[in-house]
Each structure stands twice: as C-alpha cells, then as structure tokens.
Amino acid sequence: MSFPLRSILLVLLSSTLAPMLPAQSSGPASQLTFNRDIAPIVFRSCSTCHRPGEAAPFSLLNYSDVKKHARQIADVVRSRTMPPWLPEPQELKFADELRLSDADMNRIVTWVEQGAVEGAPADLPPAPRFVQGWRLGQPDLVLKAEKPLILPPEGTDTYWNFIFRLPIQQTKWVKAVEIRPGDKQYVHHANILVDRAHASRQRETDPGAGFGGMEIRIESQVFDPDSHLLFWKPGTIPYVEPEGMALRLDKGTDLVLNTHLQPSGKPEVIQPSIGLYFTDHPATKLPMLLQLENDLKLDIPPGEKDFLVTDDFTLPVDVDLMAIYPHAHYLGKDIQAQATFPDGTKKTLIHIPQWNLNWQAVYRYAEPVLLPRGTTISLRFSYDNSVENPMNPNHPPLRVKGGNRSTDEMCHLWLQVLPVNFDAANGDPRMVLQEALARHNVEKNPADFEAHYNLGAMLQARGNLDAALAEYQAAVKLRPDDATGNNALGAALVQGGHPAQAVSYLQAALKARADYFDAHYNLGFALAQQDDFAGAVEQFQAALRLQPQDAAVEANLGAALAEMGRYADARAHFQHALLLDPTQPIAKENLEALKEMNPR
C-alpha cells in the first residue's frame, strides 16, 4: 500500500468544500430545487430524447439521472448546445421549437451552481409519459432495410443510403411516414427521397445493401416534383400531412433513406425501418420544393474567413411557405434567408448564426407564411475556410468548390411551398414557379449545364418544344459528353419530328453510358421512324436486357419485328408485353392487326 499521503489530504480538503459555491455573490439567490423548479423543464425539454431507445446517450428522467450530469448540463444549456436547436428566435415561429427560454436556461444554471439540490418529494411533477413503439400506432405498412450496415468504430462520419422497394400493387396515398433510423444514438439525421424510376438501384453493388454517398440526386422523367420533406432528426415526432396533402406512391416506386451516421467507438449495426400510414384521400393540394442555390459561386480561397454567397429569387405566384431546409457542409458559418415583400418590408425566414452540419434539420413553420407574388426570397450564406474554423476538413486549408462530397461545399436552401390564389385555368402553378426558377438559374449562371437542362425539361413539359430544344442545345454545348443532356436533346428532336438529327445525340449518350435504358429506347424509336427496323430491333433488345419487365419496350420490339416481317417473333413479344401489362395499348392494337393479317 503506497499511496502518497498527499492524496488523503486532498480528499479531506475537497470533501469539506464539496458543495458547490453559491451562485451569486450579490446576496443569496433563493434555493432552487430539482423537484419544484427543474423537473418541469427537464421533462418538457430534455426527456423526449434523453430516455431509453432514443437518440441521446443517457436518460434524463429523474433527479439522479440529472445530478449525474449536472455540471455538464449547465455547460450545454448555457452554450445552447442543448437542446439542439440552431435558429435564432424570430418573428415567424417554427413548430416544435426546442430552444430553452432564457429564464429556463438561467434556472438550470443557477440550480447547478447552488449545488443541485433535490427538494421536497411533494413538489415533483408526474414523470413524463411517452408512447411506446410506433408514435402514430401500428403503421399500415412497415418496411425494413434488407441488409444492415455495420458501422465501423472509427473514422469520419458515414453517409449511407438504404433502398426500400415498395411492395404495393397500386397507387397509395401516404399521410405520414415514421422513420426509425436504426440505433438512434448513431444516426445524426435521415431523410427519404422518392425514386420513381429505380435510378438508385444501379448504385448498389450488393443488391439490398444500399450505397454510400452524402448527396444523392434522383432524376425524374416526368414533371413530378417531390413535394414532401421527409426528414428525421433526433427527437422528431412523425408529421401527419394536412388534409389533402398526401404523398403519392405508385407500384414500383422505391424510397431511398439517406442517413448520416457517426461512429461511436465500437462497431454498430444499423438497420433502419420505416412505417407508412395511408389515407383514402388523394392529394388535392400539391405543394412543391423550391430550391435556391448557388453552388457555382462556391470557389473559396484557403484562409478566407467570410466568403459570402447569395441568391435572390422573385416569386411569380402567391405561395404559402410551409417549411424551410438550409444546407451547407463543414465550412458553412452564418446561414440566413429573408423575404422582401412587394411593399418593401422584410422578414427573416431563418437565421442560423453558427451553422453545424451535425444538427441540420428541416424547420416547419408553426403557421404557413403567405409570400405574395413579387416577394423576393434572398439567401445569404457565409463560409469560413480559415484555420480558425475547427471543422475545416483540410489542414492546412485548401481551395474548396461546390460539389457532392462532404469535403466540397454546398449552398442550398429548400422551401416547401404551396401555391395559393391561382387560377387553375392558367395551368399548374407549380410549372410556372419551376419555369421561373429554371429561367432564374440560367440567367444567374449562363454556364450552368443543369440550369439549361432543367429549363429545357420544363419548357418541353409545358409543350414549348422549340424553346426546349434551344435549352438542351445550350446544355449539350456546355457538356458535349454528357449522357443525360444528349439523350434529352435526342428525345426532344424525335418528338419534334427530326429523328434523323436525333440519332447522333442518342449515340453520343450511349457512348457516354452504354447501359442507358432511355437512350437505347429513344434511339430504337428514332431508327424505326427512319425505317431502319433492324437497327431499331437491336436497340430495343438492348433496352430490354436492361429492364426485362418493361412492357412498352416489348411492344415496340414486337412492332419493329412485325415491320421486318418476323410475325411469329413479333407475336411472342406482344404477348409478353400484355403479360407484363394487360393494358399495354400498342401490344393490344398490334396483336389485333396481326390476327387480321393472319386470322388463324
């Protein structure tokens, strides 16, 4: 036994001084107690996350739980690290705001400084009660990720995408989604993207296992803006969409869950599930997501402390603003969005003075915010690429540009808006909005490939084919080797009755991406229109190899074969097409025609 005596003295000393020093030197503050003063705050503002099975690392459900973390609690409430809530208070209120009032914050700090006294049992309010299991009751459909991800114990944060293949046979309307992201302690946030065209499946090397990547984009073929922000962060209570705002899910749709995971120091098994709640009421109100962004302006020199990026977009229609979702990566510093109303008054839509990617979130307004036509929405994001930004991924700092990797930067602001006060006779107001936004992006960055591409797609959808062709041409000029751009231009040319001109673009698309289903399909179509049926058959066959269950390709393949006089082969393909989709019109019609030619 040989501990130095010194340690004994230390123990004696500190045990006589054990109670913490009183809070204020200026006269004794009244004694706060846990049971009377603190429990109501903790039960209301902390216990939702700090309980078993939830995101926080320990429970805060009773005196001894709180006492065991008392000093740390004083620190984190004082610094406003807890409860996690980034925006400054503002006039336009958010729903489910977690920020503590100054009074509650001071009460907690004072209580800890006074020695964290328990108080009289009679003062203790009843313990909070929580719904066990699914928050909204048993979902109508529960989907579990096919294969779990084993999160390694160390390393940087991981971004993983799980694909849920929907087993529904007909269109369903979803009024609520509960995301159970797996072990909540290791999932920082998660959000669902709707993938109507299986675009993500190609990225899985092991089917069912998902794929890595922080920012994923899903191309959609029709104008069908995914209008819902399906987001999970710690403490999220599932959100039931207002009447008439259900989300449409069709047979064959995939849901992609994008998760941000933080290593814990030991291996963790992450296997999310999601619960869907259906409604019989199809959507009657169609909100949409407006994306303001300016990634092309992100070219941040090393050492730059306050790099400002802005974007200002003026609304062409009246909208109700429902929710807002700002997004930047590790250099993001001060994040702001403001509305300037037609009469010149300004209101802050959101202000996050100290951005922290780890606590990013979708913020829903307590009440929809009416933004009349002519309102300008302005984003102002600043970035710190100096050594003084401790989150800087580069040491020493490097030049950073916009991009999808976590070490690239982003400047995005998503707004969920619902067009209001419009005349339906003038067409879908979402299209008006989307076209205005696409035009705005082209004007802002004339060298932006995507801006031209999106504007082209929008014009094409609105039936303005000539204008669409011009935008696609501009896009292809900017990126002559881009598969998507070439395919779109080719398809638009076919649609405009110029199949001969389309061929070289569609071939360019296939050169860039040999397994591009759409380009094979379109090229087959263009060749058939020029009576090159052998060439068409080859393309449709290639398309069919990529998507063997596609009835339309089967029908077209049959038609090309029939044109070549190969009736038996043609019949087989028409029949298969009808097997896949009994309503396939081309197959039906052609099969009838075959019968008439050869009535046997």
Partner 1 sequence: MRRAKFCINSMWLGTVLAVLCGLATAQQALDLEGHAVNPFAAASGKPVVLIFLRRDCPVSGRYAPVIQKISNEYANRATFWLVYPDKTDSPQEIRKSVADYGYHLPVLRDPEHALVKLSRVQITPEVAVFDRDRQLIYDGRIDDWYIDLSRARPAPTTHELRDAITAATAARTTLAQKEVRGVGCYISDVE
Q: What is the binding site for ligand HEC (CB under 6 A)?
A: 45-46, 48-50, 55-57, 69, 72-73, 76-77, 82-84, 98, 100, 234-235
Ordered strands of the 319-327 beta sheet = 288-293, 412-419, 319-327, 363-371
Q: Is 130 in the site for partner 1 (CB under 8 A)?
A: no
Q: Is 235 in the site for partner 1 (CB under 8 A)?
A: no
Nearer to ligand HEC by C-beta: 188 or 520?
188
- Distance from C-alpha of 243 to C-alpha of 256, rounded to nearest angstrom: 25
Which residue(s) pair with 239 in the sheet?
none
Q: In this structure, what are the phi and psi dihedrals at residue 319, rounded to the nearest 5 degrees?
A: -140, 155
- Distance from C-alpha of 371 to C-alpha of 317, rounded to nearest angstrom: 9
- Torsion, Cα 78 84 89 91, to 10 degrees, reads -160
Q: Which does 599 bind (CB under 5 to 8 A by kind): partner 1, ligand HEC, none?
A: none
User: Considering all CA atoms of the chain, what is the largest pairwise distance in Å, rounded to the nearest integer?
Assistant: 110
With contact defined as beta carbons under 8 Å apart, do 519 and 487 qualify?
yes
Nearer to ligand HEC by C-beta: 59 or 454?
59
Nearer to ligand HEC by C-beta: 117 or 470?
117
Q: How far is the CB of 583 from partner 1 (least distance, A)?
A: 55
Q: Is 398 in the site for partner 1 (CB under 8 A)?
A: no
Q: Is 300 in the site for partner 1 (CB under 8 A)?
A: no
How far is the first Cα of the chain from the last one, in angstroms, to the nearest whole number? Answer: 105
Residue selected from 35, 340, 358, 464 as contacting partner 1 according to rule CB under 8 A: 358
Q: Which does 98 bind (CB under 5 to 8 A by kind): ligand HEC, partner 1, none?
A: ligand HEC
List Cα–Cα distances, 178 to 67, 200, 273, 366, 370, in angstroms: 33, 22, 9, 20, 28
Q: Which amino acid is at 359?
A: W
Q: Which does 335 bind (CB under 5 to 8 A by kind): ligand HEC, partner 1, none?
A: none
Nearer to partner 1 by C-beta: 332 or 429?
332
Binding mask 489-518 toward partner 1 (x if CB under 8 A, else -) reads ------------------------------
Q: How far is the CB of 41 from ligand HEC (least distance, A)?
A: 6
Q: Which amino acid is at 107?
A: R
Q: Is 90 in the site for partner 1 (CB under 8 A)?
A: no
Q: Which does 117 bind (CB under 5 to 8 A by kind): ligand HEC, partner 1, none?
A: none
Angle (nearest 5°) at CA 475 between 469 and 476 = 90
Nearer to ligand HEC by C-beta: 72 or 221?
72
Beta strand segments in 405-467, E: 412-419
- Distance from C-alpha of 234 to C-alpha of 259, rounded to nearest angstrom: 12
Tokens 């739980």 label which residue? 65
Collapse the DSSP code of 218 into the 3-class scheme (helix H, G, I; strand E, B; otherwise coil) and give the result.
Answer: coil
Q: Is 310 in the site for partner 1 (CB under 8 A)?
A: no
Q: Which does 10 bind (CB under 5 to 8 A by kind): ligand HEC, partner 1, none?
A: partner 1
Residues of the chain by 3-state class (helix, strand, coil), percent to 5: 35, 20, 45
- Distance from C-alpha of 173 to C-alpha of 228, rounded to nearest angstrom: 12
Q: Is 109 in the site for partner 1 (CB under 8 A)?
A: no
Tokens 């049992």 label which residue? 121
Residue selected from 156, 221, 421, 426 as contacting partner 1 according to rule CB under 8 A: 156
With contact defined as beta carbons under 8 Å apart, do 371 and 318 qualify?
yes
Q: How far is the CB of 301 from partner 1 (least distance, A)?
A: 19
Nearer to partner 1 by C-beta: 14 or 170?
14
Identify the H or E element spanning 23. none
Q: Is the dihedral angle over the CA atoms 178, 183, 184, 186 positive or is it negative?
A: negative
Q: Is 53 in the site for partner 1 (CB under 8 A)?
A: no
Residue selected from 94, 159, 307, 330 as contacting partner 1 according to rule CB under 8 A: 330
Q: Which does 50 bind (CB under 5 to 8 A by kind): ligand HEC, partner 1, none?
A: ligand HEC
Nearer to ligand HEC by C-beta: 77 or 528?
77
Q: How far is the CB of 219 from partner 1 (least distance, A)?
A: 32
Tokens 């976590």 label which residue? 406
Q: How far is the CB of 13 from partner 1 (least distance, A)?
A: 10
Q: Is 386 in the site for partner 1 (CB under 8 A)?
A: no
Nearer to partner 1 by C-beta: 81 or 426?
81
From the list 513, 491, 512, the residue with the least C-alpha distance to 502 is 491
Q: Is 359 in the site for partner 1 (CB under 8 A)?
A: yes
Q: How far is the CB of 291 from ligand HEC (least distance, A)?
A: 26
Residue selected from 24, 53, 58, 101 as contacting partner 1 according to rule CB under 8 A: 58
- Distance from C-alpha of 283 to C-alpha of 309, rounded to nearest angstrom: 36
Q: Is 395 in the site for partner 1 (CB under 8 A)?
A: yes
- Distance from C-alpha of 82 to C-alpha of 67, rounded to nearest angstrom: 16
Residue selected from 51, 62, 76, 96 as contacting partner 1 according to rule CB under 8 A: 76
Q: Could you tell me which stretch among 287-295, 356-364, 508-516, 529-537 binds partner 1 (CB under 8 A)?
A: 356-364
- Distance from C-alpha of 543 to C-alpha of 530, rounded to nearest angstrom: 19
Q: Is 4 in the site for partner 1 (CB under 8 A)?
A: yes
Q: Which does 46 bind (CB under 5 to 8 A by kind): partner 1, ligand HEC, none?
A: ligand HEC
Identify the H or E element spanning 158. strand 158-165
- Distance from C-alpha of 187 to C-alpha of 264, rounded to nearest angstrom: 10
Q: Is 72 in the site for partner 1 (CB under 8 A)?
A: yes
Which residues would be at the binding site for partner 1 (CB under 8 A)? Answer: 1-4, 7-8, 10-12, 14-15, 18, 57-58, 67-72, 75-76, 79, 81, 84, 153-154, 156, 185, 263-266, 330, 356, 358-359, 390-393, 395
